[in-house]
Amino acid sequence: MGTAEDDIRWLDEHERAAWLNIVRTVVKLPTVLDAQLGRDAGLSYFEYMVLAMLSERRSRTLRASDLARVVNSSATRLSNVVRRLEHRGLLLRLPDPEDGRGTLVRLTDAGLDLTMTAAPLHVQTVRAAVFDPLEAGDVQALHAALGRILAQIDPDAATEPLPIEVDPAL
């Protein structure tokens, strides 16, 4: 069922330019992050995010379903990545003692060490790629604009990161 041509709110010149910049950023930024993390830590950006989200938990453990939610992953994709990282000794999968059907994912000491080694270089890359080009006030404006977009596309805040439970400087 189509929409009448007159009912379409086409993007104006400025909206189109902004939209195409969003698309270019969404395509290019993961490539930049993957390249840096692959070179410096032997990890993909997604693998790093899995490790990083676990490193921020005091217990270094999350239910697989919660981990999938915060890294915006399907259960299948997360399971495959967790299996690979487990084979590398970076993660452990454990039965959830509170729910026998659930699985816990725990960051090992080796996984924490790799995350802590990778984090400073990753932050340098994020800063150079995203924040250094911005001017005063841009970070707040970007945060506010992205917050409004996320309110539309993720109204339940399903992908919102969990609060950090450990000192991020550790």
Query: What pLDDT is stored for residue 73 in this prediction?
Result: 95
pLDDT score of 101: 86
Q: Tell me how far apart the alpha carbons of residues 111 and 55 are, in angstroms, rounded to a whole number.
A: 9
Q: What is the pLDDT of residue 2?
A: 60
Which residues 6+ apart lie within 8 Å of 157 measured at CB? 150
Across the strands, what pairs with 111?
Answer: none
Residues 6+ apart with CB under 8 A from 156: none
Domains by residue range for the chain, with CATH: 22-153 (1.10.10.10)
CA distance 2 to 98: 49
Q: State the pLDDT at residue 158.
A: 87
DSSP 111-123: HHHHHHHHHHHHH
| pLDDT digits (tens), the chain, 170 positions | 566 677 899 999 999 999 999 999 999 999 999 999 999 999 999 999 999 999 999 999 999 999 999 999 999 999 999 999 999 999 999 999 988 889 999 999 999 999 999 999 999 999 999 999 999 999 999 999 999 999 999 999 888 888 999 866 65
Question: Global pTM?
Answer: 0.88
Grouping H, G, I as helix, E, B as strand and the rest as coil, residue 136 is: coil
Q: Which residues have CB under 8 Å from 85's CB, separation 6+?
A: 47, 50, 51, 91, 111
Q: For position 3, what pLDDT does the model report?
A: 61
- pLDDT at res. 166: 82
| pLDDT value of position 100 | 80
Residue at token pair 């997360």: 78
